[in-house]
C-alpha cells in the first residue's frame, strides 16, 4: 500500500529543522545549511546536481533510500521559495534551476493559485490551494501506486503529523545546535501517534533514525 513518507529530513540536536530568518541568502534559515552536512558530500547528493564523485557508505545509503519508490512529492510554500503572499509574476521556479532533482510531480501547498510549471527532467510543480488532504490525494493519484515523499518544510511536516497522515519518517540528527528557528516536534506526541523506532544508525556526521507506524 502506498505510504506518505519523510526521508532524509535533518534536525539539530535541539530539535530544529530550520534556522531563523529564511531568505534568498539563507534558504534554510540562519545556520540551517549545517543540518545537511551529512548529505552534501555523498555520491547521491552530488549525482542529483550532475556532479561526479562523492562519498559512499551509510550516509549515502540513507540519501539514496530517500528516492526509492517515490512517485510524487509534497512541499510547503516556504520550501519552494522565499516569496510570500501573491505571486508577483512567474519568474520564480524554485531553488533548483531548470532541472530540479525531483523528476516526478511535486505538489506545492499555497494559499495563492498559480499555473503548473513543467521543468526539465520530468519535474512538474503543481500548486494546491485547498489544503493538505487535497494535496495528498492528488499526490497519491499522481504517484500511481508508489510512495509520496513529504519534503518539508517544518510547518508542512507538522501539519501532516498532527493530522495523523505520516506513515514513516527518516530523520538525520545532525551534531549541531541552532538555538532557535522552527522546532519540529514541539507539542507533538509521537507515541500517541503510534510511531516506533525501527532503525537507529550513527555515523560521524549524523544519527539516522527511522520511525514507523506498525499499525499502518
Residue 178, C-alpha cell as written in the block? 541552532
Fold of 4-19+26-82+97-206: Dihydrofolate Reductase, subunit A (3.40.430)
Q: What is the mean pLDDT of residues 140-167?
A: 97
Range in 34-38, 59-63, 93-97 the model is least confident about: 93-97
Q: What are the DSSP E strand ranges found in the chain?
A: 4-11, 16-18, 70-76, 105-109, 117-118, 124-128, 147-152, 168-173, 182-183, 196-202, 207-212
The domain limits of the chain are 4-19+26-82+97-206
pLDDT digits (tens, 9 = 90+) for 68-86: 999 999 999 989 988 889 9
- For residues 61 and 95, the model is more confident at 61
From the CB of residue 202, how many other CB atoms can be counted at a distance below 10 Å?
12
Kind of pairing between the strands at 16-18 and 182-183? antiparallel
Amino acid at each position: 500500500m502506498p505510504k506518505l513518507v519523510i526521508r532524509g529530513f535533518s534536525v539539530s540536536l535541539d530539535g530544529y529543522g530550520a534556522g531563523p530568518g529564511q531568505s534568498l541568502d539563507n534558504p534554510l534559515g540562519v545556520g540551517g545549511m549545517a543540518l545537511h552536512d551529512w548529505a552534501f558530500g555523498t555520491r547521491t547528493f552530488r549525482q542529483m546536481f550532475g556532479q561526479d564523485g562523492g562519498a559512499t557508505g551509510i550516509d549515502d545509503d540513507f540519501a539514496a533510500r530517500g528516492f526509492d519508490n517515490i512517485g510524487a512529492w509534497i512541499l510547503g510554500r516556504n520550501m519552494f521559495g522565499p516569496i510570500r503572499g501573491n505571486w508577483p509574476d512567474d519568474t520564480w521556479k524554485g531553488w533548483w534551476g531548470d532541472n530540479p532533482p525531483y523528476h516526478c510531480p511535486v505538489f506545492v501547498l499555497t494559499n495563492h493559485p498559480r499555473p503548473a510549471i513543467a521543468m526539465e527532467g520530468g519535474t512538474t510543480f503543481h500548486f494546491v490551494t485547498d489544503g493538505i488532504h487535497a494535496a495528498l490525494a492528488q499526490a497519491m493519484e499522481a504517484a500511481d501506486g508508489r510512495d509520496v515523499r513529504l519534503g518539508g518544510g517544518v510547518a508542512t511536516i507538522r501539519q501532516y503529523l498532527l493530522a495523523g497522515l505520516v506513515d514513516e519518517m527518516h530523520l538525520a540528527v545532525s551534531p549541531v545546535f541552532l538555538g532557535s528557528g522552527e522546532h519540529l516536534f514541539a507539542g507533538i506526541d509521537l507515541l500517541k501517534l503510534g510511531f516506533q523506532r525501527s532503525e537507529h544508525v550513527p555515523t560521524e556526521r549524523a544519527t539516522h533514525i527511522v520511525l514507523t507506524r506498525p499499525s499502518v
